[in-house]
Amino acid sequence: MHGHNQPEMASAERFSVEIGEGRLAGWRWPAPEKPPLLFCHATGFCASAYKRMLGALSPRFDVVALDMRGHGRTALPAAPRSLRSWAVYARDVEAFLDGQARDGWTLAGHSMGGVVSSLAARGRRDVAALRLIEPVAMPSLLVLAARTPLWRLLGPRMPLAAGARRRRADWPSRADAAAAYAQKPLFRDWAPGVLADYLEDGLVDTPAGARLACDPAWEAATYAAQAHDFWGAVRAAGPAVSVLAADAPSSTVWRFARARLRRLGASVKDASGLGHLAPMQDPARCAAFLAAEG
C-alpha cells in the first residue's frame, strides 16, 4: 500500500476551473498522453481524501478529481433547502467535461460520487466507462417517495441526514479537529495518512480556527436528496459499468442491488473484508479496481 504513495506525492497538483455559477476545484495528476479519468467523492468528503488511491492511478491515467458543489475548495452556490436530488452535482461534472474537449473518459466515483458519475455520463459520447466504488444504490420505491411532497418530512429524518445535522462544524484549530477525528471509531481502520489527506481540504481556515468545508446542513440535505434516477443511468450505460461492492453491513450495494446491477449488464466485484469507506481503508486495492486490475 505504502509503495503506491510516491507517484502521487510527486505529481499531485491543485486546479480550479470556472463554470456557470462559480468555480470547481480539485486535484489532478497530469499525464496528458494517458487516457483521462475523472473521480467524484462521497458525501461530506472532498477530492483530497482520495489522494493515496488516485496517486496510484497516475501511471495509467490522466487523473482529475473534483470537489463537488458545497464540498472542499469548490465555490458554487449550495443552498440546502433547494436540494432535491444529486442531478445538480451531475450537471457540474457535465459542465467540467464540456470544457475539456477530450474523448474516452472513465468516470469513477465513491458512494454519492459513483451515482453522480453515472448521472453525468448519461447520453455522453465522450465517456467510455464507469467504475463505481460502493455507489448508493437506493431501492426504486424510496426514490419514488423522494419525489413526493411527503419527502420534505421524511427525508430529513433519515439517520445519515439527522446525524450530519448534529455534526460539529467549528474547531479552535486544525490540530484540535485532527485529534478529535483520530479518536472516532469511524476513522480507526483507515490507511495511514488518509485522515490527514481528508482534513487538508475537508477543513477551511477561519479567523477563529478551522471549520468543516462541507456545511453540516448541506451534507444533511445531500443525504436526504434521493430523487435522482441512478437505475436509469445504469440501464443506459449497461456493460460500461463496473461496481466494487463491500461485504460489510455498511455497504450501500445491498444484495437486491447487486442482482439488479448484473441484470442491467454491469459487472459487480465483491470487496471482501471492506466496508462502505473502502477507498479510505485500502486505497491500493481500490486503485487496482479503478485501473481494471482487480
Report the length, in residues, of the chain. 294
At 10, the pLDDT band (50, 70, 90 cuts) reads: very low
CA 209 from chain centre, in angstroms, equals 26
| Spatial contact of 242 and 118, defined as CB atoms under 8 Å apart | no
Contacts of 79 (CB under 8 A, 6+ apart): none
- 290 has a pLDDT exceeding 90: yes
pLDDT of 294 strictly over 80? no
Domain-wise residue ranges, the chain? 2-290
What's the confidence (pLDDT) of residue 238?
Answer: 85
Q: In this structure, what are the phi and psi dihedrals at residue 238, rounded to the nearest 5 degrees? A: 55, -120
- Chain mean pLDDT for the chain: 93
Whole-model pTM: value is 0.94
What does the pLDDT read at residue 3? 39
Q: How confident is the model at residue 222 (pLDDT cuts 50, 70, 90)?
A: very high
What are the pLDDT digits (tens) for 76-118?
Answer: 999 999 999 999 999 999 999 999 989 999 999 999 999 999 9
Looking at the predicted structure, is the pLDDT value of residue 2 above 60? no
Residue 249 CB neighbour total at 10 angstroms: 7
The answer to whether 223 and 158 are in contact (CB under 8 A) is yes
Q: Is 100 left (phi over 0), alpha (psi -120 to 50) or beta?
A: alpha
Q: How many helices (H) and strands (E) does the chain have?
A: 14, 11
Report the candidate in 220, 244, 214 with the shortest Cα–Cα distance to residue 114: 244
Contact 96, 19 (CB under 8 A): yes
CATH for 2-290 (3.40.50.1980, 3.40.50.620, 3.30.420.10, 3.40.50.1820): 3.40.50.1820
* SS3 of residue 48 by DSSP: helix
Task: Kindly indicate the confidence band of residue 73, based on its pLDDT and cuts at 50, 70 and 90.
Answer: very high
* pLDDT for position 293: 64
Q: What is the mean pLDDT of residues 30-45?
A: 96
Q: Read off the C-alpha cell for 273.
A: 473484508
pLDDT band at 161 (very low <50, low <70, confident <90, very high): very high
Reported for 140-144, long-range contacts at CB under 8 A and 24+ positions apart, including other chains, are 140/231, 142/226, 143/226, 143/227, 143/228, 143/229, 143/230, 143/231
pLDDT in tens, 136-156: 999 998 899 999 998 988 888
Judged against a pLDDT cut of 90, whether residue 53 lies above it is answered with yes
Assess whether pLDDT exceeds 80 at residue 203.
yes
CB 130 within 8 A of CB 242: yes
C-alpha separations of 195 from 69, 71, 126, 180, 182 in Å: 21, 16, 34, 11, 8
pLDDT tens digits for 232-288?
Answer: 999 999 889 999 999 999 999 999 999 999 999 999 999 999 999 999 999 999 999
Q: Is 8 a residue whose pLDDT tops 70?
A: no
DSSP 8-state secondary structure symbol assigned to residue 43: T
Q: Whole-angstrom Cα distance, residue 131 to residue 135?
A: 10
* C-alpha 151 chain-centroid distance: 24
Provide the pLDDT for residue 153.
Answer: 87
